[in-house]
């Protein structure tokens, strides 16, 4: 108001001096004064716009350090400046909390023992931990394409791997061969697609597991061979001595050979024949296990397959007084499988269950339940359960080892062969046991109509 009053007074004074006097110098001074007052008024009026523009620019560039003085200013601006300061402080707190959360997340990611790599759809790296850098021997990683000098296959896998998909990639880094297990997750971050991939070198674990597996197989093979060859060698030595001391000597002396000596030699030869046949049977089983034909996967109706298995085993079950309960799925339910091989797996599991529940006080029973697991509509499960005594803990981790068996007449390849068949189907076989119950679970791929 004061500026307006002074401006109006200046205009009136300028008009009076201009039309009533000849004071040209005074007129010039008053005109310059009016121009200054007009400039000061415009500058004063636009101050709010400048302050708002300055505040918005600082917000745009995330500069929350700017503060507006609230003391000694026009009261009409004091409340506006205080609001600006309050907003800046609020944004500053949010920024500080965001930075704290980022550093906290970064610390967690760095402590994880698995490589973590996050990048957008253009390949720009947003997050990478030290495990990934050490694994790939790269000090810095800003774009996925820079990994092409290490492995184009790895770059291709990173770009094409899907949500919740897993892949194995083999690559050579500084004369060291790596077998990377990639697992990906996709999400939207501020409207932009982001892919998070974990990288884990499983070569050493696989080598260790492979070594342990071979050690177990070799122990079993050695045990079987020693069991067969030791009595053969012993009997061969005994027969050789008997032949030399009894037969050859008496033959040269033209004496008759005792009938008992001939019976002992005949019994020894039969024992050698029997053990050799057992060894031959063992080798044939090994050959069968190693030369399993590839699975020819086709749509198979589960209900029909299970009924066929029951028909095949019906007589044996009745002879051994074991009941078989079937809980069948819908008639149209299909899985992707080789019908003959899957039938053989089910027969093996049912026969094992029948043998396991023999001699039970309760009625011996084998139960088969076929169903679609909850939250896994693309999979199908077949559970084979017996009410036998269960599998001891010391035996449980060995039941899938080739040629390992606790049965007197067992070959030890049934469960191993079954697992190999299911793995060729891209499925799983699991065992759950407790006293009075053992369940073998087969996981297969379901076919949707």
Model pLDDT for residues 347-385, shown as the tens digit of each residue = 889 988 888 887 777 788 999 999 988 877 788 999 999
Residue 339, in any domain of the structure: yes
User: Domain limits at 31?
Assistant: 2-95
- Which tens digits make up the pLDDT trace of 270-314? 777 766 776 666 666 556 655 667 778 889 999 999 988 888 888
Residue 141, in any domain of the structure: yes
Q: Looking at 237, 269, 290, which one is the last position of a domain?
A: 290
Regarding whether 254 and 182 lie in a shared domain, the answer is no
CATH of the domain at 375: 3.30.565.10
Q: Looking at 182, 201, 220, which one is the last position of a domain?
A: 201
Residue 397, in any domain of the structure: yes
Regarding whether 280 and 241 lie in a shared domain, the answer is yes
Regarding whether 306 and 196 lie in a shared domain, the answer is no
Residue 47: CB partners within 8 Å, gap ≥ 6?
77
Regarding whether 424 and 302 lie in a shared domain, the answer is yes
Domain count, the chain: 4
Q: Looking at 153, 186, 201, which one is the last position of a domain?
A: 201
Regarding whether 16 and 56 lie in a shared domain, the answer is yes
Residues of the chain with pLDDT under 70: 72-74, 76, 175, 207, 210-211, 213-221, 223-232, 235, 239, 242-262, 264, 274-275, 278-292, 402-413, 449
Regarding whether 325 and 275 lie in a shared domain, the answer is no
- The pTM score is 0.46
Regarding whether 394 and 366 lie in a shared domain, the answer is yes
CATH of the domain at 161: 3.30.450.20
Confidence (pLDDT) at 79: 77
Confidence (pLDDT) at 401: 72
Regarding whether 397 and 323 lie in a shared domain, the answer is yes
Regarding whether 83 and 65 lie in a shared domain, the answer is yes
Confidence (pLDDT) at 363: 84
Regarding whether 431 and 311 lie in a shared domain, the answer is yes
CATH of the domain at 259: 1.10.287
Regarding whether 354 and 249 lie in a shared domain, the answer is no
Confidence (pLDDT) at 440: 93
Residue 105, in any domain of the structure: no
């Amino acid at each position: 108001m004061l500026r307006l009053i002074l401006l109006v007074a200046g205009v009136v004074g300028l008009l009076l001096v201009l039309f009533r006097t000849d004071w040209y110098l005074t007129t010039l001074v008053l005109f310059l004064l009016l121009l200054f007052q007009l400039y000061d008024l415009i500058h004063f009026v636009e101050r709010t716009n400048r302050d708002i523009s300055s505040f918005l620019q600082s917000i745009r560039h995330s500069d929350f350090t700017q503060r507006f003085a609230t003391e000694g200013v026009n009261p009409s601006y004091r409340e506006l400046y205080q609001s600006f300061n309050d907003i800046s402080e609020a944004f500053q707190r949010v920024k500080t909390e965001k930075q704290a959360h980022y550093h906290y997340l970064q610390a967690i990611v760095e402590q994880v023992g698995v490589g973590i790599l996050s990048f957008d759809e253009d390949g720009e790296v947003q997050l990478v931990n030290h495990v990934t850098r050490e694994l790939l021997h790269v000090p810095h990683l800003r774009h996925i394409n820079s990994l092409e000098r290490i492995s184009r296959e790895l770059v291709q896998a990173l770009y094409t791997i899907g949500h919740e998909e897993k892949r194995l990639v083999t690559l050579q880094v500084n004369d060291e061969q790596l077998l990377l297990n990639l697992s990906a997750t996709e999400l939207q971050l501020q409207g932009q697609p982001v892919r998070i991939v974990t990288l884990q070198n499983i070569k050493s674990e696989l080598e260790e597991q492979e070594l342990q597996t071979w050690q177990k197989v070799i122990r079993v093979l050695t045990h079987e061979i020693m069991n067969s060859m030791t009595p053969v060698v012993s009997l061969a030595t005994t027969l050789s001595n008997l032949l030399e001391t009894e037969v050859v000597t008496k033959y040269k002396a033209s004496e008759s050979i005792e009938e008992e000596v001939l019976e002992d030699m005949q019994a020894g030869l039969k024992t050698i024949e029997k053990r050799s046949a057992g060894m031959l049977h063992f080798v044939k089983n090994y050959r069968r296990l190693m030369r399993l034909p590839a699975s020819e996967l086709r749509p198979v109706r589960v209900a029909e397959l299970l009924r066929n298995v029951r028909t095949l085993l019906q007589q044996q079950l009745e002879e051994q007084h074991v009941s078989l309960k079937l809980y069948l799925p819908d008639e149209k339910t299909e899985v992707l499988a080789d019908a003959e091989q899957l039938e053989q797996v089910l027969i093996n599991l049912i026969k094992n269950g029948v043998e396991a529940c023999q001699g039970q006080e309760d009625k011996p029973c084998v139960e088969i339940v076929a169903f679609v697991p909850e939250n896994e509509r693309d999979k199908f499960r077949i559970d084979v359960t017996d009410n036998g005594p269960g599998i001891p803990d010391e035996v449980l981790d060995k039941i899938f080892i080739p040629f390992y068996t606790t049965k007197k007449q067992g070959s030890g390849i049934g469960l191993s062969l079954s697992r190999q068949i299911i793995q060729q189907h891209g499925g799983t076989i699991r065992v759950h046991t407790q006293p009075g119950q053992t369940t073998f679970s087969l996981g297969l791929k379901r076919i949707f109509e």
